Amino acid sequence: MVGDHPILFRGLDFDKGSGNPMPVKDKRPVLVERTDEDFIAAFLGELGSDEGRKLLAGTVRNAGQRAQGLKLYQPVHRSFHLAVFEAACEVFGEPRLDPAKIESAGLVVRRINPLTKKTEGWMKLRGEVHGWVPLEDARELDRDPDPARRGAAFPVGPPQLNALVEDALGAPTPYEESVSLVFVAPPDVCAAAQRTVLYGLVPVASSEAVSSKAVQPHRYEEQELRELLAPYFSDAVGVELMKEITGKRYSFHYADEVNADATIPAARRPLAEKQLDQFVAMLRKLISVFNAFDPKEGLLPALNRLRLDYGGTSRPMGTALAEAATVFVLEQSDKADGNRKTFLMPRSWPRLSKADVADLVRAASTASLNRLQKLLPQRGRFDNADARYEVRGFIRVRRDDGCPPALIWSTPSQPFEIAAWYENGRLPPVQVALPPVTRESVRSLLPNVTFQVPRNVFDLLSINKPKDFLEEKAKTGDGGGVDWICGFNIPIITLCAFIVLSIFLALLNIIFWWLPFIKICIPLPRSMPRPPPIRNP
């Protein structure tokens, strides 16, 4: 109730035949999709005339009715969505509300959690993004998004007294819900439509992410860690892991060495190669998941508390495996003579006790946590592909009695999904014109971008031939000399990339059978203008 009558705030649709505005009875926002370059100006231009509103009706994607499978496209699809409302007085004839009475307006996008089915709001706390927070009841769903405008949690009197009571009772700091602005259409547009029309951009993409201080870090469960460490670091398997390869030296090219080893029967060589493959896979996992051989991480000391048997002597496991990683994973060579490094396999792999495994799991938990925090992205606002969302608008209307403005909500829109960035939008694809290349025209395609190339990279490319890389004979430069500036022509680079892409698409077609769908080539109609020819300078 504002003054002596209540206020209606609801979606506004348009009749396709006459262009007349049609209020949405259930108050749901009307979602309009625009693909214009200047979509706000185009929307307001159509809103200001009957013929324009007929066109505008064709862009409505949701007018309050049931909309199965409603999906909104992102700006990357060159599509934008506006929520359209009207404000009216809830009296006989429903006259439009005087825009001067609207103190402020906005909309919120809320998520319907795919697991709990609860409605959630995108919240901040003390300026830090806390992400999606469940709204438990009708009071939370209808409260003002701005905590400064809400009433006290424990109202007992004046604001100062309320604050003292909340401090004494330990009331939690209230969340602030993310709001997008809603605007009143210009006076001439409202007059032409004979409605007080409001509109706001619906955000469906965002770079906002949950603050690292506001969320528990990702971590592996204990069972996941045990599975990642198995089978080498479990109490179930031991000696048989290296039965065919114990006490032998191998380099990065261990497959060739196994097949040439006369001491291994031919029938058992596949098993020896398989055991080496498993050993190398374990080393890669230790590096990638746990960063195990970094002395600052917690896993290396735990590994060094275990020993590898070398017959009459033993070595700390962590130190030995770090050496193995330089051979089998990093493929380092001795700089003195260029020969490949080798690693002497231990005589056996130890059978670990339950206490050993538990110690490793604890250390792996800390090491993997550091790894995950460095590699996993922060959770973004619209990252969950399975979630559905809804839009809800509000206005704050000035009161005649001098009290704070009254908050009026619309009902939620129909739930919608957000199209993934890689899905096709409604507009045709962006066209990139490639240059015609001949022996004559290439002289006009001068470099239009330059790269600053470090001296060691330039030496690597200049002293080696392509076959040197294929035959593993490539050499690095001595790092002397100077840095270089290399210029290239971007259209030619694009043309080369197009040719290479076409080759690989054809090669992978035998697996995916995708060529008829992802590469469509058609001749241009003769009526289409051709690009001007490239003339020699």
The per-residue pLDDT for range 82-123, each reduced to its tens digit, is 999 999 998 998 999 999 999 999 999 999 988 889 999 999
The mean pLDDT value for 191-210 works out to 94
How much is the pLDDT for 164?
59
CA 88 centroid distance within chain = 41
Q: With 80 as the cut, is the pLDDT of residue 338 above it?
A: no
How much is the pLDDT for 336?
47
Cα 307 to Cα 357: distance, rounded to the nearest angstrom = 14
Cα 159 to Cα 157: distance, rounded to the nearest angstrom = 7
The mean pLDDT value for 38-47 works out to 96
CB 222 within 8 A of CB 357: no
How much is the pLDDT for 168?
54
Cα 251 to Cα 249: distance, rounded to the nearest angstrom = 7
Q: With 90 as the cut, is the pLDDT of residue 64 above it?
A: no
Q: With 80 as the cut, is the pLDDT of residue 496 above it?
A: yes
For residue 424, the tally of other CB atoms under 10 A from its CB is: 10
How much is the pLDDT for 153?
53
Amino acid at 64: G
CB 419 within 8 A of CB 77: yes
pLDDT class of 150 with cuts at 50, 70, 90: confident
Q: Is 130 helix (H, G, I), strand (E, B) or coil?
A: strand
Q: With 60 as the cut, is the pLDDT of residue 156 above it?
A: no
Q: With 60 as the cut, is the pLDDT of residue 312 above it?
A: yes
Q: With 50 as the cut, is the pLDDT of residue 335 above it?
A: no
Q: With 70 as the cut, is the pLDDT of residue 176 above it?
A: yes
Cα 244 to Cα 271: distance, rounded to the nearest angstrom = 7
482 closest CA partner among 454, 460, 462, 463: 454
For residue 243, the tally of other CB atoms under 10 A from its CB is: 13
Q: Which residues contact 326 (CB under 8 A, 6 or more apart)?
A: 332, 341
Residue ranges in 213-334 assigned as alpha helix (H):
222-229, 254-259, 269-290, 299-304, 317-328
Cβ burial of 392 (10 Å; 0-12, 13-18, 19+) is buried
Q: With 70 as the cut, is the pLDDT of residue 238 above it?
A: no
More confident residue, 202 or 136: 202
Tell the residue number behind the tokens 């990139």, with chain if given: 432
Beta strands 71-72; 417-418: pairing state:
parallel
Average pLDDT, the chain: 87
Cα 141 to Cα 20: distance, rounded to the nearest angstrom = 32
Q: Is 71 helix (H, G, I), strand (E, B) or coil?
A: strand
pTM: 0.76
Q: With 80 as the cut, is the pLDDT of residue 214 above it?
A: no
pLDDT class of 434 with cuts at 50, 70, 90: confident
The lowest-confidence range among 45-59, 402-416, 438-452 is: 438-452
CB 410 within 8 A of CB 117: no
68 closest CA partner among 419, 418, 416: 416
How much is the pLDDT for 332?
62
pLDDT class of 533 with cuts at 50, 70, 90: low
Percent of the chain with pLDDT over 90: 54
The per-residue pLDDT for range 257-272, each reduced to its tens digit, is 999 999 999 999 999 9
How much is the pLDDT for 456?
86
